[in-house]
Amino acid sequence: MDNTEQEQLTGLGATGLLLIVLLLSVLNPGVVVATSFLWLIVIFGMTRWIGLGMAIVAGTIVMGTPGTDQLWYLERSWSVLLAGCFVTITMMFPRAVFFNRAMGAILGILFVAGVFFASNFQYWHIIDGVMNQSIMNNITRSLLMFKGVDSDFMASKVFTDRAMELAGYQFRFFPALLGLSSLASMAVAWWGYVGLSGKGLRNLNGLNQFKFSDHLVWCLIAGLLVVIWDTSDGWSRIGENLVVFMTSLYVLRGMAVVFVKTGMLFFGKMSLFLGLILLGPILVLIAFLIGLSDIWFDYRNRVRILKESNQ
């Protein structure tokens, strides 16, 4: 993702990433982004005053409010582990593209968490309960806010049932949502650090260059096999979250292909992104199939070859 010969991520692109963080995050998105940004400054340094000023803001976001419950500590524990793994991998493999380093950080945390939960599975039930309570509290607050809106639909039982159903899905798939929002959070933090530090580091490329190893398709296949196998609810949930995580990545890859193939301008890209949110299943399925088939057809390379042959 960070090849300097390709189009770099712009401020509008970073705003899109931040929007993804806000939409997908099941933890406080500001804490995750701010912690990653602080780790980058502490390890790699910062010479510009504006960057140091942003570091103070980030520190205030992370530690400004004292911890009062389990969720506060969970958010910061996850953020510190995530940022620590990302910075460590960046130091070990400085030439690796951003996506590989970020995925390495996610896998590193999963390994640590796996060992932790294997020692006492009761810890997972505690975390699961904390996340469920947090999601239900957020939905309850949202429903109370919407009840103040003068709308028969929002005050109806149908709307409440839909909201509770959404909360159920969010709870069921929170590990996948956490992984996706963490990738986007690290991307925002890295983009901000590179831009503010002035160190000449390789920044992220635009979404139209988004691509990852074709071998990750085996993660999707493994998730599908676990879901089909369906030996227990625990294993099924692991498979479902793996499928949701990988499907989301292929949807983004499909969108990247469409951006290159059609040469969309910014407003066209935003319309497509909002269409994915509002129209849902049909456009998501199309984007997923395009992203998945890109493994074999490599559409963007074909477009590049055609452009070169026409010159």
Query: Which pLDDT score is estimated for 275?
Result: 58
Residue 1 lies in a domain: no
String of DSSP letters for 2-55: --TTSPBP-HHHHHHHHHHHHHH-SS-HHHHHHHHHHHHHHHH---SHHHHHHH
In a domain, 287, yes or no: yes
Residues 110 and 86 both lie in one domain: yes
Indicate if the pLDDT at residue 263 is higher than 60. no
67 and 156 share one domain:
yes
- Asked if residue 226 and residue 150 are part of one domain, the reply reads no
Same domain, yes or no, for 165 and 91? yes
Tell me: the pLDDT tens digits for 242-252? 999 999 999 98
Helices (H), the chain: 11-24, 29-44, 49-63, 70-92, 98-119, 122-147, 157-172, 174-197, 217-229, 233-262, 266-278, 281-297, 299-310
In a domain, 309, yes or no: yes
Separation between Cα atoms, residue 130 and residue 291, nearest integer Å: 35
Q: Is residue 2 part of a domain?
A: no
* 179 and 225 inside one domain: no
Please say which residue of 203, 229, 253 terminates a domain: 203
Residue whose pair of structure tokens reads 């090849």 in the numeric block: 3
pLDDT band at 1 (very low <50, low <70, confident <90, very high): very low
Query: Is residue 199 in a domain?
Result: yes
- C-beta separation of 17 from 187 below 8 A: yes
> Is pLDDT above 50 for 89?
yes
**Domain check: are 196 and 210 in the same one?**
no
Same-domain check for residues 176 and 113: yes
CA atoms within 13 A on the CB side of 182: 29
Mean pLDDT of the chain: 83
Task: Locate 288 and state its tokens.
Answer: 């997923």
Region 226-247: mean pLDDT is: 89
Residue 236 shares a structural domain with residue 116? no
Q: Which domain holds residue 240?
A: 206-311
Residues 162 and 257 both lie in one domain: no
Q: Which of 139, 171, 203 is the last residue of a domain?
A: 203
- Give residue-wise pLDDT tens across range 140-188: 887 777 666 655 655 567 777 887 888 888 899 999 999 999 999 999 9
Q: What is the pTM of this model?
A: 0.87
